[in-house]
Amino acid sequence: MCVVLLSPQDNPLEVLIGKQLRKTCENSRLIIFFHRNSITLTEVHKAWQMLKRAGFTYHKLFNNRIAGHAFSETRLSPVLQLCRSHTALVTCPEPRVAQLLSLQKRLPQLVVIGGVVEDRFMSVADLERYAQLPSVDALRAQFCHLLSAQAAGLSAALGHHQAALVRSLAAYSEPAAAGRQGQEES
């Protein structure tokens, strides 16, 4: 646990908000930073609702001091450079970058300036490339299919000679069996 020493001018409310923000970010696998252009309160509420329905958590504007309390002396300390005036952020426990970027297109007042996905700092271009990648489950399914196809091919190759021998013996034994049945009937 990190102890933040308060200076005489630190606002206790800002320290508390910073601690809450730090805890939220430590438990999130997706953290996206936005620059918030001028926006009405109604539009902020609509954005909050849209993100909440999709499973994201929208964090209101915060100042540099709150960001300092939240991110200083943590693995996220490099993001302090992104936390300038009018900064908002969205967190999610799952790295659903593609869904967030599609929602962001309907929110022109929020401009993505960077993010952290599974402890990796990413620019906007990196986030867009990450969104194009297939999910881990899809990649696992492709890998399992590849392994099972190779195993089936190997099994067929190993059993080919035995199957050919069985067919040859069956073809050889059929005329002999038919001849014996003809002799028994007469």
Check pLDDT > 70 for residue 63.
Answer: yes
pLDDT for the residue 53 = 92
Q: What is the pTM of this model?
A: 0.68
Q: How many CA atoms lie within 13 A of 87 on its CB side?
A: 20
Residues 117-127 as b or e (16 or more Cβ within 10 Å = b): beeeebeeeeb
Percentage, residues of the chain above pLDDT 90: 18
Residue of higher predicted confidence among 51 and 8:
51
Segment 68-89 mean pLDDT: 82
Check pLDDT > 70 for residue 126.
Answer: yes
Instruction: Flag the least confident range among 5-9, 120-124, 171-175.
Output: 5-9
Check pLDDT > 60 for residue 186.
Answer: no
Check pLDDT > 80 for residue 71.
Answer: yes
pLDDT for the residue 72 = 83
The DSSP code for 94 is: S
Sign of CA dihedral 53, 63, 76, 120: positive
pLDDT for the residue 176 = 65
Check pLDDT > 70 for residue 180.
Answer: no
Check pLDDT > 90 for residue 39.
Answer: no
